[in-house]
Structure 1
C-alpha cells in the first residue's frame, strides 16, 4: 500500500479541479505549502532543494516519455499490421476480379452431341407449354414492386455487388463494419502525389495540383484512427473507412452522391463467431432486443433501468413510490 503510486490520486484530482489555471497554479499551491509549512527550502544545504526537485521531476519525466514511446510504438505496429491486412485483402480481391476466364475447346463429336441436347430441350419446353411459343405469365407482385411504389425509394439506385455504388470517378462498397473506396488513377503516381484527408465526417481525395475528386461530407461518422488508405501499383487508390455505427448501412458515400436503396442490400451471410467481439456483442444485443419486443417483454436497456430502480427502492424502503410513474 505504501508503494502504491496512485493512492493519493483521488485527493490530488480533487485539488487539480479547483485550480482553473492548470498545472502551473497547482504546482504554485503545493510549493507554497512547502515554503509556509515546512523547512524544505531552508532546512538543508544551499541548493539541496534544487537537486531534490530536479531528481524527482527528471525521474517522472523519464517514465512519462517511456510510456509515451511505448504507446507510439504499439500504435505504429498496429497500423503496420492493419496495412498488411488491407494489402493482402486487396491482392486477393484483385486476383479474383481479374482472374482470366478459361475456354475449353470441344471436339466435333462433343459439339454435335451438345447441339442434339439443346434441340431436345427446346422440343420438351414447347410440348410442355414453356417454350418460346408459350404464353408469358404475368409477373407476380414482389417486394421490389412495393419498393417502386414507395415514395421514399423513388429515384434510388440499386446497390452494386458490394452493396455500394459504381460512379464515374470511383467505386465504393460496404459491410456493416467498414466502407471501401476505390479510385482508379489515369497515371502512375506516388503516395506523396496524392491528397487524402480522412476526418470524422468529411473526406478529401485527389491528386495534388488538380481539382479534388472528392471533397464532401460523408454519409455517417467514421473512426479516424482506424481508417487507412494505400496506393496500389501506382494506379489504384484504396481507402478503408471504419464505421462508428456498425449497425447501419450507408445510402451513399458522400452527401453529393446519388443514393442507393438500402432495402435492396444483400449482405453476405456470416456466423456470429466470424465477427469481432464488439460487433458480435452489438448483433447479439440487437437480436435479443428484437425477440423481447416480439414477446412484449422489456429490452436489455429497459431491463437494466428496471433493475437499477428496483435496487434503489430496496435500499430506500422509507420512500413512497406508489404515486410515481415510470416509463
Structure 2
C-alpha cells in the first residue's frame, strides 16, 4: 500500500504555486518547497529552521529566502531539506495533522499573498487532495485519472460511518 500511495502524485500530477524564486505544492501528508539559490551554493551556507508553526530559510550572510508563520503545524523532526546541484534547495515539511479533511493548506506562509494559490489553483489543490484521500481510503482502486466536480473545500464530501 505505501508504494502505491507514494506514486499517486506521479500519476495524477501536482498543483504548484509559483512565487518569486521558487514554487510549492502539497499532498495529504507533506508540503514540498523548491527554492532557487545562487549557483554554487554549498549546504553549509544554508540556514533552514523548521519550527512547529514557522519556517525560516536564509543563506549565511543574511540573505533571507523564506520567513514566516505556517498556516498549520508541521512535525519538524520528520521534515527535511536538501540542496540539489548546488542551486536548488528542496524542503519537505511533514504535516502534523493526521486529519485528511483538514489537510489542505490555504497558503505557504500566513499573511504573505505571494505564497497563496489563486482561487482556481486552490480549488484544484482541494480536488487533488480529495482524490488522494479517496485513494488512501480505497487502496485497491486507482483514482489517479479521475476527475471530480463541485466545491471540494474542506476535503470533499463527508460520508456517515454507519
Query: Matched residue of 1:222: which SS?
Result: coil
Aligned to 1:188: 40
Task: Tell me if the contact between 1:195 and 1:206 (Cα under 8 Å) persists in the aligned partners.
Answer: yes
Between structures 1 and 2, the one with greater helix share:
1
Question: What's the TM-score, normalizing by structure 1?
Answer: 0.34
1:194 and 1:228, CA in 2 relative to 1: closer, same or farther beyond 3 A?
same
Aligned to 2:145: none
Aligned residue pairs, count = 124
Q: Structure 1 residue 204: deviation in Å?
A: 0.6
Q: Which runs of 5+ in 1 are unaligned?
A: 1-88, 94-160, 275-285, 293-298, 301-327
1:267 aligns with 2:122: no
Query: Matched residue of 2:63: which SS?
Result: coil
1:214 aligns with 2:56: no
Residues 111-133 of structure 1 show CA distances to partners (whole Å, capped at 9, x for unaligned) of xxxxxxxxxxxxxxxxxxxxxxx
Aligned to 2:108: 253
Which one of the candidate residues 78, 99, 104 is aligned to 1:226? 78
Which one of the candidate residues 150, 158, 162 is aligned to 1:290? 158
Q: Structure 1 residue 188: deviation in Å?
A: 0.8
RMSD between superposed Cα atoms in Å: 2.8
Distance 2:65 2:111 in 1: 12
Higher RCO (C-alpha 8 Å, min separation 6): 2
Q: Structure 1 residue 233: deviation in Å?
A: 0.9
1:223 and 1:207, CA in 2 relative to 1: closer, same or farther beyond 3 A?
same
Between structures 1 and 2, the one with greater strand share:
2
Query: Matched residue of 1:264: which SS?
Result: helix
Residues 8-62 of structure 1 show CA distances to partners (whole Å, capped at 9, x for unaligned) of xxxxxxxxxxxxxxxxxxxxxxxxxxxxxxxxxxxxxxxxxxxxxxxxxxxxxxx
1:198 aligns with 2:50: yes
Distance 1:164 1:257 in 2: 17
Query: Matched residue of 1:205: which SS?
Result: strand
Q: Structure 1 residue 219: deviation in Å?
A: 1.4
Query: Matched residue of 2:128: which SS?
Result: coil
Q: Structure 1 residue 238: deviation in Å?
A: 0.3
